[in-house]
Structure 1
Amino acid sequence: MNMVATLATASGRHRLLSRDFSRLWAAAAVSSIGDGVTIAAGPLLAAQLTDDPRLIGGVSVAFTAPFVLFGIPAGLLVDRLDIRAAMMRVDFVRAGLLAVLALGITGGWGGLPLLYVCMFLLGVGEVFYRNASQVLVPFITPEPGLSTANARVMAAQEAGTGFVGPLVGALLFGVAVALPFGLDAATFLCSALLISRMRGSRPPAERRDTAGVLPEMLAGAKWLWRHHLLRSLALLSCTINLAGSAMLAVLVVHSEEVLDLSPFGYGVMLSCQAVGAVLASRIAPVLTGRLGREGALVATAALIASSEAVLATVPSAYAAGSALALFACGTVTWNVVVVVLRQTLVPRHLLGRANSVYRLIAWGGLPVGAAAGGFVAAEAGTPAVFGVGAVVMAVIAVVLLRGARRQWITRATQADADGSVPASPVPTASER
């Protein structure tokens, strides 16, 4: 009987997903395949140009630095512009950038400086595009379907960036170095075509405010910082991203020096993330329903800590692939929980700006982690990077477990709904 009820609930959630959402999902899927191609090919190109882990890690720094530099302005643009049209333009620009990089490689002038510049500008586009797509989801999906919708988009993104893309990228890199970047350009053009076929968007009445630019930008920051729950989650996400970015930035070095993998083997290892991502897309809504949001976040932190510990202690390609699957499962589940919270708690007219401030805080750890990972790997080796990450995530898991006993998310959201001031959502010093 419980199985029948579960299937009926899943079927009902599926019917809540519109054709517009299907087009958005398809655009995310196809562009994510291209992202995965570049994620695999970019470090491989850097490793071909230099053997310095710091310069190889610089590729990740260049891509993630815009998350810090342009997060808030991107949120303001999301709240001001026609989201669907703006997403199409971003796809066209990113396709052009990758075409230039491919031509530079073919012509012999595509060195590290061009790679850094292109990755930086691609990161700028990613900041806007990801924010815009998350803001768009609640406008084309009823609230009961948000968990399922977000889980499917994230699964498509992780499967593309973690499975199909890396495999194709590593394989094409062995055929011709410029080929992966040309393919990524084509996927962005396909994504733009799919977005153009969408009919729904944000209601025009909610697109613009009458205040000046600076007050509009600060409005989202002030709202988020006063919200104890989302502020705490943003700070925790920053720490998690710092550890995860350090791990991913030196993974190509680890695969060559410790695991003795070829470029294609590196792509296969990266693709293992898709297994965890697809699994998370199915279990995240169920896990949240069974354990509650607090319990789901504790489980994700434990999974990520376990993955880092395996990478640090077991010099095996099979173990590394399994660890990356655990890592992806944890990160996707975490993202599903926190994204739905933002989509339901933030006022609609502030969603783009508050979302961008959250990302500014959460993604601020990405370039720092990538840079730190390169330096630690150069001085102490890649296992040391993973070991530090495992310790950081274990501490976060303990903090979350103590908070879960107090039902910190449930209490904070109930206080928010009642209009009262929420209690501090994280464990106090005495409770730790």
Structure 2
Amino acid sequence: MSASTTDTTETTGPERPRLGGDFSRLWWSAAVSSLGDGATIAAAPLLAARLTDDPRLIGAASVAFTAPFILFGIPAGLLVDRVDIRRMMVRVDFTRACLLALLAAGILGGWGGLPLLYVVMFLLGTGEVLCRNAAQVLVPFIAPQAGLATANARVMAAQEAGTGFVGPLVGALLFGVAMALPFATDAATFLCSAVLVSRIRRTKPVDAKPAADGVLSEMLAGAKWLYSHHLLRSLALISCLINMAGNAMLAVLVVHSERVLHLSPFGYGIMLACQAVGAVLASRFAPALAERLGREGALFATAVLIATSETVLATVPSAYAVGAALAIFACGTVTWNVVVVVLRQTLVPQHLLGRANSVYRLVAWGGLPIGAAVGGIVAAAVGTRAVFGAGAVAMAVVAVALLAGARRHWITRAEQRAETD
């Protein structure tokens, strides 16, 4: 990409490019805020379970958090392409800190019920749409092109270690001490993240020039480009199915841990932490795996891993087996993201990156609220194991589709076409 030519390309070895101080600040921002997010991820369903025993209302907290991915995905992409990304991320992090402080105050004051939880989770999800999109657009401007896979893998490792390991443990422990503490902790981490992002020197150039055809035309430009690109369009749809299956599982996991596995809140936090084992391993080895198997083979392998994890969840009522399954699940999803994010960063034209990325996320993350809602309904009707079993079947179908694509070398052919354009 043209912006990468201005970045340093010094390396500490043939395969270890130096990513620079700006990337380090972005990485620390992701690591710190993800730790707090992990505390909230563990604490929010525990809080909902304290307020109600209806799996549908418990799962609604996840629906509230993920609904903005559908509602605001495309406008967020236009905003990312038109504003100073660094300044926007600082403001969003500060706003999220205030929201979490409000929720903590509500819990302490006795007026923090389900309605407040849903509102705060919805607004936190809105901030997540903006900042996740902005961070992925920012990486190619602060890291050398040769290091994109490594840079994305490191950011994902930080996010998964925080949200999947340290954060849930801290959140479960703090929730046992006082229900408000995990949310107050997350507020503090967002403040730290805002400071770190504000110190990033380089950023994506601001293009505030309005399109001649208006805002609507600008928003649709990313959608039209993505729709015309067979590979990324297909990967977006497959990502939607993966997210539906995965979030249906996560939305009812707290119910499964209490009713089937008979775990305490801390035990639930430990079980969530098992995801980080697979995530960190995947972030370390995913670039090498993609190099060895080819990106087509790596994506097929991720679908097999996720299908295996869902099968174990559906058939083995053991906390140890569920912990192992969650590690396998995280290993698969992180490997998928490492491969697909780099593809988007290299195949999408720079001036459309924010909008095309947001449309991709709209399709892919659109599966999150749908999965959470369906998971809660199915669990209430026939139990949590049925949710996991349906996810296993869906992922088996995805694996077959990816195997067919690998045999046609669809990624290699798409990259060759991009080089000739």
**Match runs of 1:9-408 below 5 Å:** 11-204=13-206, 206=207, 208-211=209-212, 212-408=214-410
Is there any run of 5+ residues in structure 2 with no aligned partner, and where?
Answer: 1-9
Instruction: Tell me by how many angstroms 1:192 deviates.
Output: 0.4
The answer for the alignment partner of 1:3 in structure 2 is: none
1:325-355 CA-partner distances (Å, limit 9, x unpaired) = 0000000000011100000011111100000
Shift of 1:415: 1.8
Matched residue type, 2:420: D
Q: Per-residue deviation at 1:16? A: 2.8
Cα distance between partner residues in 2 of 1:371 and 1:196: 37
Residue type of the alignment partner of 2:263: L
Distance 1:192 1:10 in 2: 30
Query: Offset of 1:314 from its aligned partner?
Result: 0.4
Match in the other structure for 1:5: none
Mapped partners of 1:258, 1:126: distance in 2: 32
1:210 CA drift (Å): 3.5
- 258-267 or 207-216, larger mean C-alpha shift: 207-216
* Contact 2:12/2:18, CA 8 A, preserved across alignment: no
C-alpha separation between the residues in 2 aligned to 1:147 and 1:48? 41
Mapped to 2, the partners of 1:139 and 1:78 lie a distance apart of: 13
User: Which deviates more, 210-219 or 267-276?
Assistant: 210-219
Residue in structure 2 matched with residue 412 of structure 1 by the alignment: 414
User: What whole-Å deviation, never above 9, does each CA across 1:169-193 have from its counterpart, x for those lacking one?
Assistant: 0000000000100000000000001
CA distance in 1, matches of 2:13, 2:204: 26
Q: Which amino acid aligns with 1:409?
A: I
Letter in 2 for 1:142: P
1:144-166 per-position Cα deviation (integer Å, ceiling 9, x unaligned): 10000000000100110000000
Task: Judge which range, 67-76 or 195-204, deviates more.
Answer: 195-204
Contact 1:79/1:208 (CA < 8 Å) preserved in 2?
Answer: no
In structure 1, distance between residues paired with 2:265 and 2:295: 39
Displacement of 1:143 after TM fit?
Answer: 1.1
Report the equivalent of 1:428. Answer: none
Is the CA contact (8 Å cut-off) linking 2:38 and 2:163 kept in structure 1? yes
Relative to structure 1, the CA distance from residue 155 to residue 208 in structure 2 (aligned partners, 3 Å threshold; closer, same or farther) is farther
Paired residue secondary structure (1:372): helix
| Equivalent AA in structure 2 for residue 48 of structure 1 | R
Instruction: Name the CA distance, whole Å, in 1 between partners of 2:259 and 2:402.
Output: 35
Instruction: Return the alpha-carbon distance in structure 2 between the equivalents of residues 10 and 393 of structure 1.
Output: 39
| Distance in 1 (alpha carbons) for counterparts of 2:14 and 2:257 | 44
Normalised to the residue count of structure 1, the TM-score between the two structures is 0.94
Spell out, residue by residue over 1:215-260, the C-alpha distance to the aligned partner (whole angstroms, 9 max, x if none).
1111111111111111000000001100001000000000000000
Q: What is the aligned length?
A: 411
Identify if the C-alpha distance between structure 1 residues 19 and 207 changes in structure 2 by more than 3 Å, giving closer, same or farther: farther
Question: Which segments of structure 1 move beyond 6 Å, counting only runs of 4 or more?
Answer: none
Name the counterpart of 1:424: none
Task: Specify the code of the residue in structure 2 equivalent to 1:190.
Answer: C
Letter in 2 for 1:141: A
List gaps (5 residues or longer) in structure 1.
1-7, 420-432
User: Alpha-carbon deviations, 1:293-341, whole Å to 9, x = none?
Assistant: 1000000000000000000000000000000000000000000111000
Deviations 1:98-153 (A, max 9, x none): 00000000000000000000000000000000000000000011111000000000
For the 8 Å contact 1:13–1:148, the answer to whether it is kept is no
Deviation, 1:10, is 7.6
In structure 1, distance between residues paired with 2:209 and 2:265: 48
Match of 2:403, SS state, is helix
Cα contact 1:53–1:375 (8 A) shared by 2 = yes
User: RMSD of aligned C-alpha atoms?
Assistant: 1.2
Which string of whole-angstrom CA distances, capped at 9 and with x for unpartnered residues, describes residues 30-70 of structure 1? Answer: 00001100000000000000000000000000000000000
2:81–2:353 Cα contact (<8 Å) kept: yes
| Bigger shift: residues 400-409 or 30-39 | 400-409
How far the C-alpha of 1:9 sits from its partner, in A, is 8.3
Shift of 1:414: 1.1
Other-structure match for 1:429: none
Residues in 2 aligned to 1:207 and 1:301: alpha-carbon distance in whole angstroms: 40
Distance 1:342 1:281 in 2: 18
- The one-letter amino acid of 2:332's match is G
Report the secondary structure of 2:47's partner residue.
helix
Counterpart CA distance in 1 for 2:12 and 2:222 is: 34
The answer to whether the 8 A contact 1:82-1:207 is kept is: no
Q: How far 1:208 sits from its partner (Å)? A: 4.1
- The amino acid that maps onto 1:178 is A
